[in-house]
């Protein structure tokens, strides 16, 4: 039986594998390699901070994830199909290695943040 996510190292392992798949993906890879060439070694600790606060209740993560992605969206639109693919790769990566309440929480939060991103980026409220 597989175990649940327990440590920061577990989260980093999921993220390392996910970003390897995301960079290589024919549908969303270009965001990481061309739109915002991402230095993963430098960024992974920040992304892990976010997930640690979600999954393990670690120190509060203060950055505004929506604002980060709004900037990317302004350079090259992040469409629903991109978000769906991101979530598909992410949830699959978690499921290969872990199962349990924390693994489920990580997958659910990825889905809910992606849904919120789609609403904020692609369906902003019409100004009066
Ligand atoms: C197609 C969808 C997505 C793309 C192309 C994308 C791309 C990126 C890129 C390029 C960065 C680095 C930004 C920078 O440093 O300038 C980033 C950061 C980040 N992304 Fe995404 N992202 C996507 C969806 C998501 C989703 C659904 C989540 C859900 C939780 C997420 C969580 C994060 C976090 C936590 C960071 C780190 C922000 C920081 O502290 O610097 N991303 N993303």
**Tens-place pLDDT, residues 14-26:** 999 999 999 999 9
Q: How far is CA 66 from CA 7, 8, 31, 60, 113, in A?
A: 26, 23, 16, 16, 9
Separation of 2 CA from ligand 1 center, angstroms?
A: 28
**Tens-place pLDDT, residues 98-110:** 999 999 999 999 9
In a domain? residue 49: yes
In a domain? residue 114: yes
In a domain? residue 128: no
Domain span including residue 104 = 8-122
**Tens-place pLDDT, residues 45-65:** 999 999 999 999 978 887 899
Separation of 38 CA from ligand 1 center, angstroms?
A: 10
């Amino acid at each position: 039986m597989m175990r649940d996510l327990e440590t920061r190292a577990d989260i980093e392992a999921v993220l390392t594998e996910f970003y390897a798949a995301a960079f290589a993906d024919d549908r969303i890879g270009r965001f990481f390699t061309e739109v915002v060439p991402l230095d993963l070694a430098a960024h992974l600790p920040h992304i892990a901070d976010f997930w640690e606060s979600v999954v393990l209740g670690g120190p509060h993560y203060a950055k505004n994830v929506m604002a980060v992605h709004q900037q990317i969206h302004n350079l090259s639109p992040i469409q629903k199909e991109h978000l769906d693919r991101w979530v598909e790769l992410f949830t699959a990566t978690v499921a290969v290695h872990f199962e349990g309440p924390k693994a489920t929480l990580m997958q659910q939060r990825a889905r809910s943040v992606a849904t919120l991103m789609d609403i904020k980026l692609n369906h902003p409220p019409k100004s009066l």
